[in-house]
Structure 1
Amino acid sequence: MEENEMEYEGGKNIGGWIIPDEEVAEYTANRQALSDFLTEKLSEIYPEVIHGGEGSQDGDYVTVDSTNLDYGVFIHLDPAEVDKFMGFENKNDYLTEILFFSEQERLYYKIPGMLDLEGQEGSDSWHDFISKAYEERFNKKYPYERFVY
C-alpha cells in the first residue's frame, strides 16, 4: 500500500489529506469529479495538463505546462478546493474564477516590490489587490477571507 493510500484509525489518506471514513466515498467521488473537470477544461486551453504531487506532504495538484507562458495555473486537490468546486452550481464559473486568480497573480507579481511582500505579517497588499480586481471583474463583493499567516 502506497503512503498516499495509507489507512488511519477513523480515516484514510487521500492525496495527502486524512479524510474521515464516513466521508471517504463522497470525498473521493467529488475529488475525482474536480480532477476530471480540470483535465478536460484546461486541456481545451493549454497544450499540456500535468497531475503531480502524489505522495507528497503538500498533496496532489493539477497544473499546466507554463514553459511558454508568462503565468501558471496551479490547483491543489485538497478538501477546501473540492468543497469550493462542489459549491459552484455552474462548474464553468469555477473555471472562470480559477483562471481569473491565475491571471491576477501574474499581474500582481509584475508590480515592483510585490514579491518581497509575500508572507510578511500584516501585509494586506494581495488581499486588497485581489478584492478590488474581483469586484471589478465579477461586479460583486470578494467572497473570501483574508489569509492570515
Structure 2
Amino acid sequence: MARPFPVQKTSFPKVERKWYLVDAAGKPLGRLATRIALLLQGKNEPTWAPHVDNGNFVVVINAEKVLLTGKKLNQKVYYHHSGYPGGLKSQTARQIMEKYPERIIELAVKRMLPKTVLGKHQFKRLKVYAGENHPHAAQKPEKVELL
C-alpha cells in the first residue's frame, strides 16, 4: 500500500559548542549585550535554527569596567517585585554595580534572549566575572573582539 504523500524527514546537525571569551572593559553595555546574546543563541553559526539550541558558551571578564553612557549609572533603575502587595523594589545601576558588577551584564543579556525554555538553557551558558580571572581556562575559550 503506497502512501499518498512522501514522508519528509528533518535532519538535526550535531551540535558542537564553542567557548568564547569577551572582555567587557570600556565597552557600552547594550552593544556588548546584543553581541553576547547572538553568540549564546548560536546565530553566528550556519546551522542556526529557531527550534534547535545550538548556542555557544560565553565567558565575560572585567564586568566591573563595563561602560554605561550618559547619566545611566545614576538614572537607570532596575525593578523587581517580591510578589506581595507593595513589594516593588528598585535599585539604580550604580547600586548594583557597587555590590554585584556582573549582574548588570547578566540582566541585559537575559532580557535579550527568548522568554522560553530554550532561552533559559541558553542563559545558563553565560559566565560573567567581575575581574580578569575566570576558572574556564581548561576549555580554551577563543578570545573574540565584539566591537
Give the greater-gyration-radius structure (CA).
Answer: 2
- Report the structure, 1 or 2, having the larger helix content: 1
Q: Which of structures 1 and 2 has the larger relative contact order (alpha carbons within 8 angstroms, sep 6+)?
A: 2
- TM (norm. structure 2) is 0.26
